[in-house]
Amino acid sequence: MKKKVFVISISLIVMFIIIWTFTRNKPPIQPSNPLPSNGKINVKLMPTLSWEASDPDGDTLTFDIYFGTDSNPTLVESDLSTNTYIPGSLDSNTKYYWKVVAKDRNGKETSSPVWSFTTLNNSPTKPSNPHPSDGQTDVSLAPTLSWVASDPDGDTLTFDIYFGTNSNPPLVESDLSINTYNPGMLDSKTTYYWKIVAKDGKGGKSEGPVWRFKTENNAPKQPSNPSPSDREIDVFLKPTLSWKSFDPDGDTLTFDIYFGTDSNPPLLKSNLSTNTFNPGILNSKTTYYWKIVAKDEKGGKTEGSIWSFTTGLNPLEKGDIVVIGGSENIFIFDVTEPEKPLLLGSLNIGGVDRVCISGHYVYAIDLYNGLVIIDILNPKDPRKVGHFYIKGWANDIYVSGNYAYVGVDGDLIIVDVFVPSNPKLVGSLNTYFFFLMQGHNFSDDIYDIDISGNYVYVAHGRHGLLIIDISDPSNPKIVEYLNTGDTRGVYISGNYAYVADYRYGLVIVNISNPSRPILVRRWMMYTDGRKVDVSGNYAYVAAGDNGLLIVDISDRSKPKLVHQIDVFANDVDLIEK
């Protein structure tokens, strides 16, 4: 009986202790002093969370961890036995929420408040490894720029591009999503500056250094397509050389011209701004060599091949050329075959009264403008090149050496035509007073002029044939005259003067002694003789409405008509091959 009572007493005591212990157990103290501290920013991306917690009964504590980006974080770890927790690698620039629930072994627990912190945002790495490399030269004119940049946080990057020829380049592109950029076609031989700003989209950015590079200068393309073409023959004596060349960079080109008869031609012209060149009048049947050096404005140059061409005959040497002055035009005929004259070209210059050929120039008397000088090197394309205004009625002209002798009313004027584009007055002679002294109480005009040696032979209308000494062009003097009728034209051949006469047609005079001229023959088949020219055994008479008369004068005492060209013929001049 005593033993049973004792066992019951022990059980009651144990039960009492258990009940007393349970009723006296206190919960853990609320966790505090969080690390990172509540609200902290720029927290590293792999933090160690920690806190302080204790139990008033000295019980061993465990912890439940709630963590996430929601303000009501979720349970991520249970019954942690330490007061630290590593959540792993976090997102940058992100706000995280967390709390800790402390638990003792007796089932009591206490929750901390919800804490928060924001992770730091690591800026992108500074852009590097530029392409083209910093300071690079001879860069293509259409480069692709590239660089290297990354973000420690793994953020997606965008880029701002600064680019230009200034050492502080301007912004040209924003928020580029790739690490390459095409600036377009650049100028050659030019220094460009550029920099990259890398941005992570969370406020982080890194500015790269200013890099530079210099573009290449592409030399001009080799000159090509020469005209005349390489080795061309029978080239016109006054050619215009031309070629093609261009610069890949679009630079303005200039050209050096090498030209001559040597196979290694010398420099003739530098820095020509056009791709054409006129070398002047060339010799006939001659081979010329030439080359072009193309130069850009940035030091690039390209030398062309040496080309060649061979000139043809002077068109005026290919046959007998007749120039006829009409009422408005000059007409150029090839009369190599007198029976089959061929029209080559014509030019309208106004009212043509007289023409004269010297070299490859026609000197024409324009009824309204005086002396007109025309280049007929190409008979098919005659061109006006000079003009000398004459006051009065200019009737005729003759050119000898550097001088043009012009009949103006009753006067003879002498003009220096050494430079065809700039004729100048040298001397003059008034014939009116001479004839007045000879008892001619009327005036008449100088209609035609020819020269032999130091003498001018003048067709002086009703006064006849007048002979003037011009050994001093600045002081001409009258020698003699012969009354041949109504004299309008004169041509000297050997010891004879052939006179175109308004009354008698053609008159032939012996002038072996200029101071004593002798009449040989009057040929009166046609009247209205105005101008005459002679080649070999033929006289060419401009006879107004009667046209151009071609007369056989092999027997001066018996001239014969060979052919008649049906044009209004006011003037005629002839070049012999």
The confidence score (pLDDT) of residue 8 equals 56
The confidence score (pLDDT) of residue 163 equals 97
Residue 388 lies in a domain: yes
Q: Are 305 and 321 contained in the same domain?
A: no
- Decide: pTM greater than 0.85: no
274, with CB counted inside 10 A (0-12, 13-18, 19+), is exposed
Q: Are 24 and 111 contained in the same domain?
A: yes
Q: Are 25 and 44 contained in the same domain?
A: yes
The confidence score (pLDDT) of residue 483 equals 87
Tokens of 10: 């022990």
DSSP state of 209: P
The confidence score (pLDDT) of residue 10 equals 64
Q: Are 426 and 531 contained in the same domain?
A: yes
pLDDT digits (tens, 9 = 90+) for 259-286: 999 999 999 999 999 999 999 888 889 9
The confidence score (pLDDT) of residue 3 equals 54
Q: Are 79 and 168 contained in the same domain?
A: no
Beta pairing class for 205-207 and 276-277: unpaired
Q: Are 352 and 448 contained in the same domain?
A: yes
Beta pairing class for 95-103 and 74-80: unpaired
Q: Are 243 and 331 contained in the same domain?
A: no
Tell me how far apart the alpha carbons of residues 115 and 49 are, in angstroms, rounded to a whole number.
11
453: CB partners within 8 A, 6+ apart: none
Q: Which of 12-26, 96-110, 137-151 has the lowest mean pLDDT?
A: 12-26
The confidence score (pLDDT) of residue 128 equals 96
Residue 101 lies in a domain: yes
Tell me how far apart the alpha carbons of residues 429 and 476 are, in angstroms, rounded to a whole number.
6
Residue 344 lies in a domain: yes
The answer, yes or no, to whether residue 402 has pLDDT greater than 70, is: yes
pLDDT digits (tens, 9 = 90+) for 509-556: 999 999 899 999 888 777 788 888 899 999 999 888 888 999 999 998
Q: Are 263 and 333 contained in the same domain?
A: no
Residue 525 lies in a domain: yes
Tell me how far apart the alpha carbons of residues 155 and 91 are, in angstroms, rounded to a whole number.
9
Which of 119, 149, 184 terminates a domain? The answer is 119
Tokens of 153: 């946080």
Contact, 331 vs 376, CB < 8 A? no
Q: Which of 160-169, 317-326, 416-425, 534-543 has the lowest mean pLDDT?
A: 317-326
Residue 33 lies in a domain: yes
The answer, yes or no, to whether residue 329 has pLDDT greater than 50, is: yes
Give residue 294's Cα distance to chain centre: 12
Residue 372 lies in a domain: yes
Q: Are 361 and 478 contained in the same domain?
A: yes
Q: Highest mean pLDDT range out of 256-265, 356-365, 472-481, 518-527?
A: 256-265
Nearest alpha carbon to residue 25 among 55, 52, 53, 63: 55
The answer, yes or no, to whether residue 2 has pLDDT greater than 60, is: no
Read off the pLDDT band of 496 (50, 70, 90). very high
200: CB partners within 8 A, 6+ apart: 92, 121, 123, 124, 151, 153, 155, 156, 157
The confidence score (pLDDT) of residue 317 equals 64
Residue 368 lies in a domain: yes
Report the half-sphere exposure of 164 (CA within 13 A, side-chain side).
9
Q: Highest mean pLDDT range out of 74-78, 236-240, 345-349, 565-569?
A: 74-78
The confidence score (pLDDT) of residue 9 equals 59
Q: Are 462 and 559 contained in the same domain?
A: yes
CATH number at residue 268: 2.60.40.10
The confidence score (pLDDT) of residue 277 equals 96
The confidence score (pLDDT) of residue 135 equals 96
Residue 1 lies in a domain: no
The answer, yes or no, to whether residue 347 has pLDDT greater than 50, is: yes
CATH number at residue 517: 2.120.10.30
Tell me how far apart the alpha carbons of residues 366 and 396 are, in angstroms, rounded to a whole number.
10
Q: How many residues are recorded in the chain?
A: 577
Which of 215, 246, 271 terminates a domain? The answer is 215
**Could you give the percent of the chain with pLDDT greater than 90?**
55
Residue ranges making up the domain that contains 534: 315-575
Q: Are 245 and 370 contained in the same domain?
A: no
The confidence score (pLDDT) of residue 322 equals 74
Read off the pLDDT band of 446 (50, 70, 90). confident
Q: What is the mean pLDDT of residues 455-476?
A: 91
Report the half-sphere exposure of 467 (CA within 13 A, side-chain side).
24
The confidence score (pLDDT) of residue 20 equals 47
Which of 94, 119, 144 terminates a domain? The answer is 119
Long-range CB pairs of 129-137 (<8 Å, 24+ gap) are 130/194, 130/196, 130/208, 130/211, 132/213, 133/211, 133/213, 134/209, 134/211, 134/212, 134/213, 135/211, 135/212, 135/213, 136/213, 136/214, 137/213, 137/214, 137/216
**Count of domains forming the chain:** 4
The confidence score (pLDDT) of residue 433 equals 80
Q: Which of 185-194, 493-502, 523-532 has the lowest mean pLDDT?
A: 523-532
Average pLDDT, rounded, for the chain: 88
Q: Are 307 and 320 contained in the same domain?
A: no
The confidence score (pLDDT) of residue 497 equals 94
